Amino acid sequence: MIWRNLTSKEIGKLDKTIPVILPIGAIEQHGPHLNVETDTLISEFFCNELNKAIPNEVLILPSIAMCCSEHHMDFPGTLTVSHETLMAYLKDVLKSISANGFKNIIIFNGHGGNQAIGSVVVESFGVNNPDCNISIMTWWKIASKELFEITETGLFGVGHACEFETSILQYIEGNNVREEEIVNGPVTKTFDWAAADLLRGSKALLHRSMKEHAPNGVYGDPRVASKEKGEKIVNAVMKNFIPMIKDLKLPIK
């Protein structure tokens, strides 16, 4: 079910154990070939796919598009809010969801820059609302095992406007990928202990702007992207996403 499509009366009658999903993303540069809405579009897409699969078992909120993208501000088209602003906003939204009686709440994330502050929000809100199950799920994290089997690129191959994001956008109908603009994104290396991408975590976090990481705004190699690969990625994510959401309605053992 889609929150914004329901009436107040209909929402009031819903089972309050139904999982409520809040999609969050970003409005930021995605190289020369993808729209600035890419992260938000992907997050919304997976939530809409979830609603198609189990329409009476989930409640999808309107997405939050402009989030933490300060590290992309060297590139035109990027919009951002501060970490403090996003944290306060998310906590206010979660508070209002809880005030409606819902206790299973998931932030579904499509942007790497939201992960750290999203985790702080989960910890902070969770401590003060022990009656709620609050979680943040990021699409490439929940399907990392399957995605390792799909990728054709090594370290630094999947990061931003990359093999994965481009493939998903090619799969989504009406994606508007600028195919003729697809280029490789050679990554500027720093220390071995800081090497990471979407699938491979580093030993320690080292802050760099996206311009420092990838001068052309592409972190990875989208040249090996395809619509067929996008379908495989979507299936892998949904294979994990659906049972994780269903788990929330079961008693914790």
Number of independent structural domains in the chain: 1
Q: In sequence order, what E strands does 141-245 have?
A: 158-160, 219-220
Residue 10 within a domain: yes
DSSP state of 131: T
DSSP state of 76: T
Residue 160 within a domain: yes
**Closest by alpha carbon to 61, among 25, 113, 13, 114?**
25
Q: Which domain holds residue 233?
A: 3-247
Residue 183 within a domain: yes
* Residue 250 pLDDT: 65
Both tokens of 140, joined, read 């490439």
Residues 105/97, Cβ–Cβ less than 8 Å: yes
Residue 23 within a domain: yes
- 10 Å CB burial of residue 56 (0-12, 13-18, 19+) is exposed
Residues 209/113, Cβ–Cβ less than 8 Å: no
Residue 252 within a domain: no
Average pLDDT, consecutive stretches of 10 residues, N- to C-terminus, the chain (253 residues): 98 96 98 97 98 97 97 97 97 97 97 96 95 96 96 92 97 90 92 92 91 94 96 98 91 55
Residue 253 within a domain: no
CATH number at residue 73: 3.40.50.10310
